[in-house]
Amino acid sequence: MSTTTATFSGVVPPVVTPLSPAGEVDRGSLERLVHRQLAAGVDGLFVLGSSGETVFLTDAQRDVAIDVVVGATAGAVPVVAGAIEPTTPRVMERVRACERLGADAVVVTAPFYAIVGPHEIRRHLTAVAAGTHLPVLAYDIPVCVGRKLSNDLLLSLAQDGLLAGVKDSSGDDVAFRQLLLALEDAGVQGFSALTGHEVVVDGMLLAGADGAVPGLGNVDPDGYVRLHRACAEGDWATARKEQERLVRLFRIVDAADPATTAGATRGVGAFKTALHLLGVIDSPTVSLPMRAYDDDEIARVRMQLDLAGLTVHA
């Protein structure tokens, strides 16, 4: 566990955005989802991340999602909001919306679609940070944007006070470990290094991460809160045991037929299907071009929920 006093730390699940069958943001379901998170004791919420279908939603839908999460959270924990668009001018439009709607921080990726190099990425993050009073967290997700944020970049932006943290979804724990020590050696204070990988939270907290942003936390926030607490107490045997239960639960992302589905459908689709089975959200609807799960796929999700000891709504 980190010894620094990061602003954003602990368990910060990236909440899904429940949709009605007609494709509208389902306010009631989203409120229930938030209340369940808060009841579990999470330390923050991340709205409009990849799990939140951020790039599938129109701006109007996004605004509703932020509004509902901020409202339902009611200041209990910080709400960080994705401002995920390909380029600076478009990100800034979303940053303005996040400011207006009361988010506590914004989360920004490297540019995507646009072909950029390290200089453009630095200019992008710098311009966004300079353009808002909100804290900015970098979102390192090369599988989506095609490029990794270098440790050199993250460190220098952290030192310059332009970044409040990073959500690391790079899958590159080697680089993340090196970043953690580089931040410490540079004496950077208050920077939040959060792992986005729900299956290695114990190891990353052991390594000094400030917290986790687990997509699977949508489904089992209690498990992640227990996991985090065990780590905080240095009870690594308990932490590992809880983590292993969650690693197995994470197999819900293998429920969809791999011959006809890919990443987005398998992740968000599984989380929503599980939340629907658990009675938290009214519909498992996902945005196009993803598709709904069929009966066999739903049955496989249900089986994993059972194995993990989660009570499935009849």
Task: Report in angstroms how near the CB of residue 215 gets to a second copy at its nearest.
Answer: 12
Site for a second copy, residues 212 to 271, rule: CB under 8 A: 234, 236-237, 240, 243-244, 247-248, 250, 260-265, 267
Q: Within 13 A of 51's CA, how many CA atoms are on the CB side?
A: 27
Q: Which is nearer to a second copy, 7 or 20 (CB)?
A: 20
For residues 192 and 211, is the Cβ–Cβ distance under 8 A? Answer: yes
Q: Is 120 in the site for a second copy (CB under 8 A)?
A: yes
> What one-letter code names the amino acid at 215?
G
**CA 172 to chain CA mean position, Å:** 16
Tell whether the torsion through CA atoms of 1, 164, 268 and 221 is positive or negative: positive
Contact flags string 10-49 toward a second copy, x per CB under 8 A: -------------x--------------------------
| Least CB distance to a second copy at residue 119 (A) | 5
| Site string (85-104) toward a second copy, x via CB under 8 A | -xxxxx--x-----------
Please give the Cα distance from 182 to 135 (Å, whole number): 21
**Bridging pattern class, strands 45-47 and 14-15:** parallel
User: Considering only CA atoms, which of 283, 254, 250, 286 is closest in space to residue 268?
Assistant: 286
* CA 178 to mean position of chain CA atoms: 22
Residue 303 backbone dihedrals phi, psi, to 5 degrees: -60, -40
197 binds a second copy (CB under 8 A): yes
Of 63-71, 79-87, 157-165, 272-280, the window that binds a second copy (rule: CB under 8 A) is 79-87
CA distance 292 to 273: 9
Give the binding site for a second copy (CB under 8 A): 23, 55-59, 61, 84, 86-90, 93, 111-117, 119-121, 123-124, 127, 143-146, 171-174, 177-178, 181, 185, 197, 199-200, 202-204, 206-208, 234, 236-237, 240, 243-244, 247-248, 250, 260-265, 267, 287-291
